Structure 1
Amino acid sequence: MQSSSINQAAGVTTPAVKSGLRLLLLPLVILAGMGLSVEAGLLGPLGAQVGHLWATLSIFGVGSAILFLILLFSGPQQGPAFGELPRWQLIGGFLGPMYVVVLTLATPHIGIAMTMIAILSGQVGKSVLIDHFGWFGAPRKKVNAERWLALLLIVAALVLIARG
Structure 2
Amino acid sequence: MKIWVYIIALVAGLSLSVEGAIYGELGKSIGKLESSFYNFFVGTIIIAIVLLFLGKGSLSYTFKAPKWQLTGGLLGIIYLTILVISIPIVGVGLAMISVIVGQMAMSMIIEHNGWLGSRTSKLNKEKLAAVALMAVSLLLIF
TM-score interval for Structure 1 and Structure 2 normalised by the shorter chain = over 0.9
1:39 aligned residue: 19
1:50 aligned residue: 30
1: distance between equivalents of 2:39 and 2:59?
A: 27
Matched, 1:141 2:86: no
Matched, 1:116 2:99: no
Q: Which has the larger radius of gyration?
A: 1
1:82 aligned residue: 62
The amino acid across from 2:73 in the alignment is G
1: distance between equivalents of 2:125 and 2:56?
A: 45
Matched, 1:102 2:82: yes
Structure with higher RCO (Cα < 8 A, 6+ apart) = 1
Superposition pairs for residues 1-16 of structure 1, below 5 Å?
Answer: none
- Count the aligned residue pairs: 142
Residue among 26, 39, 47 paired with 2:6: 26
**Alignment TM-score, normalising by the size of structure 1:** 0.83
1:93 aligned residue: 73
2:42 aligned residue: 62
1:7 aligned residue: none
Unaligned 5+ runs, structure 1: 1-19
1: distance between equivalents of 2:119 and 2:20?
A: 31
- Assess, with a 3 A threshold, how the Cα gap between structure 1 residues 53 and 79 changes in structure 2: closer, same or farther: closer
**Alignment TM-score, normalising by the size of structure 2:** 0.95
Which has the larger share of helix? Answer: 2
The amino acid across from 2:61 in the alignment is A
Identity of aligned residues (%): 35
2: distance between equivalents of 1:122 and 1:100?
A: 14
Could you say what secondary structure the match of 1:77 adopts? Answer: coil
The offset of 1:135, in angstroms, is: 0.5
The amino acid across from 2:41 in the alignment is G
- Assess, with a 3 A threshold, how the Cα gap between structure 1 residues 79 and 47 changes in structure 2: closer, same or farther: closer
